[in-house]
Amino acid sequence: MIKNKKDTSTKKSKIQVIDLHKSFGKNHVLRGINFEIEEGESLVVLGGSGSGKSVLLKCVIGLLTPDKGQILIDGKDVLKMNTRQRDEVRHKFGMLFQGAALFDSLTVWRNIGFELLYNQKLPAEKVQRIVRQKLKAVGLGDRVMELSPAELSGGMQKRVGLARAIASNPEIIFFDEPTTGLDPIMCGVIDKLIVQSLRDLNACGITITHDIATARFVADKIAMLKEGKLVWTGKSSDLKKTKNSIVKEFINGHVHKTDNSSIKASKASKKALEVATKRREQTK
Amino acid sequence: MMILSFLNTVGASTIEFFRYVGDLSLFTFRSVSCCFRPPFYLRQLFVQMYRIGYLSLPVVGLTAIFTGMVLALQSYTGFSRFSAESAIATVVVLSITRELGPVLAGLMVAGRVGASMAAELGTMRVTEQIDALSTLATDPYKYLVAPRIVAAVICLPLLVLCADAIGVLGGYIVSIHKLGFNSAIYIEQTFQYLEADDVISGLQKAAIFGFMIALMGCHQGYRSRGGAQGVGRATTNAVVSSSIAILVLNYLLTSVLFSK
């Protein structure tokens, strides 16, 4: 169990996750997660595939209900709230999904202004004005407003997704694998937009990624998730200096000697490959 | 070992069946309750009414007109054997309004709309669009499911009303132009024994079929998993389950409510 050092500044705790557990059948995905994010702080959760990053994010947003633990937003436990109270908390959230998750049936401006238009019931002209500002903030022009999401490139979809995430000026923004599937230049653009959005809104952010470059650029604080546990937490600047073998292994892309499961899996796949090659040669 | 394996399969299937029934019951309860609780998404409702009602009209109309035409021909073949041709108009109108109109319209809409709902919601599920709705503080049941259910319950009776009129017209066309009936007498015989209850009973059935089609389509789509294959499976299941539900409910409703 890792707890972050509390500094002496007056910043309030925005999100606090305490002893979070989540299982799917016999698969124990989250095994006691603890972390705390303060106002205006950006946390990046690093981890390999299947480490539980997405499940952690979905639990914090409220898309999944944890089996055990507490999730405090502004000091209030969301797991003890009724549906209306949870909806009120969700108004503080913005989220950028891995595949942008734009609504196919709506135009770009209706996607971005969805919450303002349908929940806050603002007039269409006002929403369009806000949408123009948000599009400008993510580096897109007015010309995309009437397009459908299918007419946009992957990078543009991500930008529109980001514009939707920041449209209602949220206090907390979640980024799910924001740079996956993008070229290096677009990755850099999205990273900059994330930092800029968080700074402009003075929002706190949780980003889950396996991209080290994104993590270094975006994070104030980094947490390393492995097999459902946070095995390392520290400042972004500490990432290079850390002696934690799991973090080093993740950064360098090497399999650590003590990681028996990885070594076994690697040996098994090598052996399977050898058998398959032999068989193919025999059939020739 | 064989017996254990057999028992294991039976047990797993039974658990899966009850899990499905429980899940469908909870989904139905939540969906119906969302139809009556604000916020109401009227734009979504009108879009769905356009898709379910207006866009289904051609296929329902075609089905109805040919059914009416065939019904007149077949009735003539049978009734002419004992000189009861005068009953053809009554048989056509009663068969269409009480039975064939709602059932055939229901089955056609199940194929067209049920599949479309399952595919659309299924794709939204696997591309995280439904999760995105939740993060935008919007209840997916209220935004996606409730408008579809309400639209189907409103539109199916309207479609069936059109199907009744078009089906009777089909019977009229064949009877007048092919079988040589007198137009005025045929029209008189059509309305002679027709009661308001015959039409209303068909419309009641249609409303229930509309509910089942939207419910099955939304449920299968909403719960779909596993990418394109999962969406395909959901679409097939939606059509099959809503078609079976229509046929079973048709018998139950006829035997319990309308057999008096």
Residues B5 and B96 placed together within one structural domain of the fold: no
Q: Cα-Cα-Cα-Cα dihedral of A263, A267, A270, A272, to 10°?
A: -130
Digit-coded pLDDT (tens) for A106-125: 999 999 999 999 888 899 99
So what's the pLDDT on residue A84?
Answer: 83
Q: What is the spatial distance between Cα A77 and Cα B3, in angstroms, rounded to a whole number?
A: 50
Domain count, chain B: 2
Q: Scanning every residue of chain B, which has its alpha carbon at the shortest distance from the alpha carbon of A95? A: B135
User: What secondary structure does DSSP assign to A32-60, as a single string?
Assistant: EEEEEEETT-EEEEE--TTSSHHHHHHHH
* Contact A92/B at CB under 8 A: no
Contacts of B129 in chain A (CB under 8 A): 101-104
Residues B27 and B105 placed together within one structural domain of the fold: no
Chain-chain contact of B135 with A58 (C-beta, under 8 angstroms): no
Residues B124 and B15 placed together within one structural domain of the fold: no
Which domain does B58 fall in, by range? 43-256
* Contact A93/B at CB under 8 A: yes
Contacts of B228 in chain A (CB under 8 A): none
Residues B26 and B67 placed together within one structural domain of the fold: no
Residues B7 and B119 placed together within one structural domain of the fold: no
Q: Which two tokens stand for residue A71?
A: 């999730």
Residues B155 and B235 placed together within one structural domain of the fold: yes
Model pTM score: 0.85
The minimal CB distance from B128 to the residues A90, A93, A101 is found for A101
Q: What is the spatial distance between Cα A54 and Cα A45, in angstroms, rounded to a whole number?
A: 10
Q: Which amino acid is at B3?
A: I
Q: What is the spatial distance between Cα B64 and Cα B54, in angstroms, rounded to a whole number?
A: 15
Contacts of B143 in chain A (CB under 8 A): 118
pLDDT above 90 covers a percentage of chain A that reads 47
Q: Which amino acid is at A262?
A: S
Q: Mutation test of the interface with chain B: which of A114, A116, A120, choosing the one with the most B Cβ atoms within 10 A?
A: A114
Side-chain half-sphere exposure of A234, counting CA atoms within 13 A: 13
So what's the pLDDT on residue A246?
Answer: 85
Nearest residue to A46 (alpha-carbon basis) of A190, A175, A196:
A175
Digit-coded pLDDT (tens) for A160-182: 999 999 999 999 999 998 888 88
So what's the pLDDT on residue A255?
Answer: 56
Q: How many residues does the structure list for chain B?
A: 260
Residues B134 and B196 placed together within one structural domain of the fold: yes
So what's the pLDDT on residue B179?
Answer: 92
Residues B194 and B235 placed together within one structural domain of the fold: yes
Under a CB-based contact definition with an 8 Å cutoff, are residues B212 and B32 in contact? no
Under a CB-based contact definition with an 8 Å cutoff, are residues A22 and A59 in contact? yes
DSSP H or E run through A226: strand A221-226
* Contact A114/B at CB under 8 A: yes
What value does the mean pLDDT of chain A take? 84
Residues B118 and B206 placed together within one structural domain of the fold: yes
Is B203 inside a domain boundary? Answer: yes
Residues B8 and B62 placed together within one structural domain of the fold: no
How many contacts, defined by CB atoms under 8 Å, are there between A and B?
55
Chain-chain contact of A93 with B135 (C-beta, under 8 angstroms): yes
Residues B125 and B252 placed together within one structural domain of the fold: yes
Question: In angstroms, what separates the C-alpha of B102 from chain A's closest C-alpha?
Answer: 30
pLDDT tens per residue across all 260 residues of chain B = 788 999 999 999 999 999 999 999 999 999 999 999 988 999 999 999 999 999 999 999 999 999 999 999 999 998 888 888 888 999 999 999 999 999 999 999 999 999 999 999 999 999 999 999 999 989 999 999 999 999 999 999 999 999 999 999 999 999 999 999 999 999 999 999 899 989 999 999 999 999 999 999 999 999 998 888 999 999 999 999 999 999 999 999 998 876 55
Q: Which amino acid is at A158?
A: K
Is B38 inside a domain boundary? Answer: no
Digit-coded pLDDT (tens) for A41-97: 999 999 888 888 989 999 999 999 999 999 999 999 999 998 888 888 888 999 999
Digit-coded pLDDT (tens) for A194-243: 999 899 999 999 999 988 889 989 999 999 998 889 999 988 888 888 88
Residues B155 and B221 placed together within one structural domain of the fold: yes
* Contact A103/B at CB under 8 A: yes
| One-letter-per-residue 3-state SS of A68-107 | EEEEEECCEEHHHCCHHHHHHHHCCEEEECCCCCCCCCCC
The minimal CB distance from A103 to the residues B41, B129, B137 is found for B129
Is B126 inside a domain boundary? Answer: yes
Q: Scanning every residue of chain B, which has its alpha carbon at the shortest distance from the alpha carbon of A164? A: B136
So what's the pLDDT on residue A86?
Answer: 87
Contacts of A61 in chain B (CB under 8 A): 134-135
